[in-house]
């Protein structure tokens, strides 16, 4: 049994092909610049040299067709033909209140996903295009939607209702939903193993720190609050997103600059955050180097980024109570020891202490590591996330008619004997 997972964005798709044999990754890759011209696909498989092919993909249908062609290529492929794919898992950004766990996609489910598109238009349009393309090209196998919002459906009303006219919630679905659910779920289960405690007894703060940033307050194994809101724009400072700002700024700047709602949304999503504060679109490495060298706006942006995360940790401590652990993950969370150090600086008053030497010695992306300092009352970890494994195990469970509720599912990675996979060699 081989399961394909697809994560679709407007101009790119990330994919993994898993074998049911101990969830081995047979191949992984990305196709980029969809509908922009100059598109290309790159693929890695264990024991092989990476492959790269320039090939035009005018839309998501063409992109998924190229992925299937790459997987079945006589020289570079890993399966004989498309018939060797047993099921497809699709990451879907928004499930609203309707979808509390992963679901097999049929016409009714797809229609419901389309109706929720307005809640995350930048993400859902691409998700829908990927689903339609894959179901058209692989019509005879199950397709399953894995919702980023599902893990956060346990958040209570006190945390998910906004102080706005209540009918907006009833009529338009305006509430906190949260995102990066598969990542926070994976971290919660792996942290429980490292803590040697049942997941349902663990109190955690998980920090997904990448281009998009979200924190999750987990009490007794369940999400009770999260930093992203109705859309992925709320919360911490991100690479190009503003995160939390005074709502009064919206009307003021739209009037001052004569901007439409769409234009203002584009600024908040694509021209704010680190990019907005520094005026630069350099990569994270260049940004951190500039901050370390004392470039004023880069230094300030880094301080603001880490200060805001630290504020979230403090607020979550107030609602979780006694805390078992803090977990960092994703690109920046795994790689950037200075960021972890700055985030945790000054939290000694909460019994949170960092071992600086351990923190600086981590090999990014290759190991789960504890960076707890001596005398700390709270344990701190760096755990490489594996959202794709969450997705593929959800697909397999639904395909076999097993438990669809992620809160009760017996995931492989929730067991002490699980060995996290390293990067594809």
Q: Where in the chain are the domains?
A: 2-147+387-414, 196-382
CB 391 within 8 A of CB 403: no
Q: Is 405 a catalytic residue?
A: no
pLDDT tens profile 60-118: 999 999 999 999 999 999 999 999 999 999 999 999 999 999 999 999 999 999 999 88
DSSP sequence for 277-336: HHS----HHHHHHHHHTT-HHHHHHHHHHHHHHHHHHHHHHHHH-S--EEEEEHHHHHH-
CB 205 within 8 A of CB 191: no
What pLDDT shows up at residue 218?
Answer: 98
Dist CA 186 CA 388 (whole Å)? 10
At residue 297 the predicted structure's pLDDT band, cuts being 50, 70 and 90, is very high
Using the Cα atoms of residue 109, residue 62, residue 124 and residue 402 in order, give the sign of their dihedral.
positive
What element of type H or E holds 33?
none
Read off the tokens for 350: 């909460």
Q: Tell me the sheet residues that pair with 32.
A: 12, 40
Determine the CATH number of domain 196-382: 3.30.420.40
pLDDT tens profile 327-349: 999 888 888 999 999 999 999 99
Average pLDDT over residues 380-398: 95
At residue 366 the predicted structure's pLDDT band, cuts being 50, 70 and 90, is low
What element of type H or E holds 191?
helix 181-195
Read off the tokens for 215: 């924190």
Residue 403 φ/ψ, nearest 5 degrees: -65, 130
At residue 400 the predicted structure's pLDDT band, cuts being 50, 70 and 90, is confident
Looking at per-residue pLDDT, the higher value among 409 and 257 belongs to 257
CATH superfamily placement of domain 2-147+387-414: ATPase, nucleotide binding domain (3.30.420.40)
What pLDDT shows up at residue 405?
Answer: 83
CB 307 within 8 A of CB 187: no
Residue 312 φ/ψ, nearest 5 degrees: -65, -40
Dihedral angle, C-alpha 230, 232, 238, 242, nearest 10 °: -50
* Confidence check: pLDDT of 425 > 70: no
pTM of the model: 0.95
Dihedral angle, C-alpha 187, 312, 236, 188, nearest 10 °: 10
Helix (H, G, I), strand (E, B) or coil at 343: helix
pLDDT tens profile 190-216: 999 999 999 999 999 999 999 999 999
Dist CA 309 CA 213 (whole Å)? 9
Residue 127 φ/ψ, nearest 5 degrees: -60, -45
* Confidence check: pLDDT of 236 > 90: yes
Q: Residue 130 to residues 39, 182, 190, 199, 237: CA-CA distances in angstroms?
A: 16, 19, 30, 33, 29
Q: Which of 58, 111, 148, 225 is catalytic?
A: 148
> Do 2-147+387-414 and 196-382 have matching folds?
yes
What pLDDT shows up at residue 181?
Answer: 97
SS3 of 355-403: the string is CHHHHHHCCCCCCCEECECCCCCCEEEECCCCHHHHHHHHHHHHHCCCC
How would you label 69-92 residue by residue, b for 16+ Cβ within 10 Å and e otherwise? ebbbeeebbbbeebebbbbbbbbb
CB 161 within 8 A of CB 195: no
* Confidence check: pLDDT of 403 > 80: no
Show the beta-strand stretches assigned E in 83-194. 87-92, 103-104, 143-147
What pLDDT shows up at residue 251?
Answer: 96
Pairing of strands 143-147, 103-104: antiparallel
Show the beta-strand stretches assigned E in 167-291. 204-209, 213-219, 222-226
Looking at per-residue pLDDT, the higher value among 366 and 58 belongs to 58
Q: Supply the mean pLDDT for the chain.
A: 94
* Confidence check: pLDDT of 167 > 70: yes
């Amino acid at each position: 049994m081989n399961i394909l997972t697809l994560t679709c964005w407007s101009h790119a798709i990330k994919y993994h092909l898993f074998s049911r044999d101990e969830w081995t990754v047979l191949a992984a890759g990305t196709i980029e610049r969809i509908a922009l011209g100059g598109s290309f696909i790159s693929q890695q498989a264990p024991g092989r040299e990476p492959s790269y092919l320039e090939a035009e993909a005018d839309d998501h249908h063409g992109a998924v067709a190229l992925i299937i062609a790459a997987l079945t290529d006589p020289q570079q492929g890993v399966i004989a033909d498309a018939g060797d794919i047993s099921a497809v898992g699709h990451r879907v950004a928004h499930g609203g209140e309707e979808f509390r766990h992963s679901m097999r996609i049929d016409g009714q489910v797809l229609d419901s996903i389309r109706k929720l598109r307005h809640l995350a238009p930048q993400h859902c349009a691409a998700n829908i295009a990927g689903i339609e393309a894959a179901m058209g090209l692989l019509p005879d196998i199950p397709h399953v939607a894995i919702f980023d919002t599902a893990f956060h459906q346990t958040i209570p009303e006190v945390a998910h209702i906004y102080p706005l006219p209540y009918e907006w919630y009833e009529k338009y679905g305006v509430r906190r939903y949260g995102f990066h659910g598969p990542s926070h779920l994976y971290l919660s289960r792996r942290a429980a193993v490292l803590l040697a405690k049942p997941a349902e007894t663990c109190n955690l703060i998980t920090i997904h720190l990448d281009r998009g940033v979200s924190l999750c307050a987990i009490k007794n194994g369940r999400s009770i609050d999260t930093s992203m809101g109705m859309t992925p724009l709320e919360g911490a400072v991100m690479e190009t997103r503003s995160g939390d700002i005074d709502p009064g700024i919206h009307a003021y700047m739209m009037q001052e600059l004569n901007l439409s709602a769409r234009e203002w949304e584009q600024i908040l999503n694509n021209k704010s955050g680190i990019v907005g504060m520094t005026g630069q679109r350099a990569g994270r490495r260049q940004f951190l180097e500039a901050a370390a060298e004392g470039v004023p706006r880069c230094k300030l942006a880094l301080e603001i980024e880490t200060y805001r995360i630290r504020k979230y940790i403090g607020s979550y401590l107030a609602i979780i109570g006694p805390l078992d652990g803090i977990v960092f993950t994703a690109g920046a969370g795994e790689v950037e020891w200075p960021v972890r150090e700055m985030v945790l600086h000054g939290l000694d008053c909460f019994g949170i202490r960092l071992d600086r030497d351990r923190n600086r010695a981590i090999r990014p992306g290759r190991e789960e590591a504890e960076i707890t300092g001596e005398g700390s009352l709270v344990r701190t970890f760096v755990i490489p996330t594996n959202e794709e494994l969450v997705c593929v195990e959800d697909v397999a469970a639904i395909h076999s008619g097993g438990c669809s509720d992620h809160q009760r599912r017996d995931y492989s990675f929730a067991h002490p004997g699980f060995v996290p996979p390293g990067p594809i060699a």
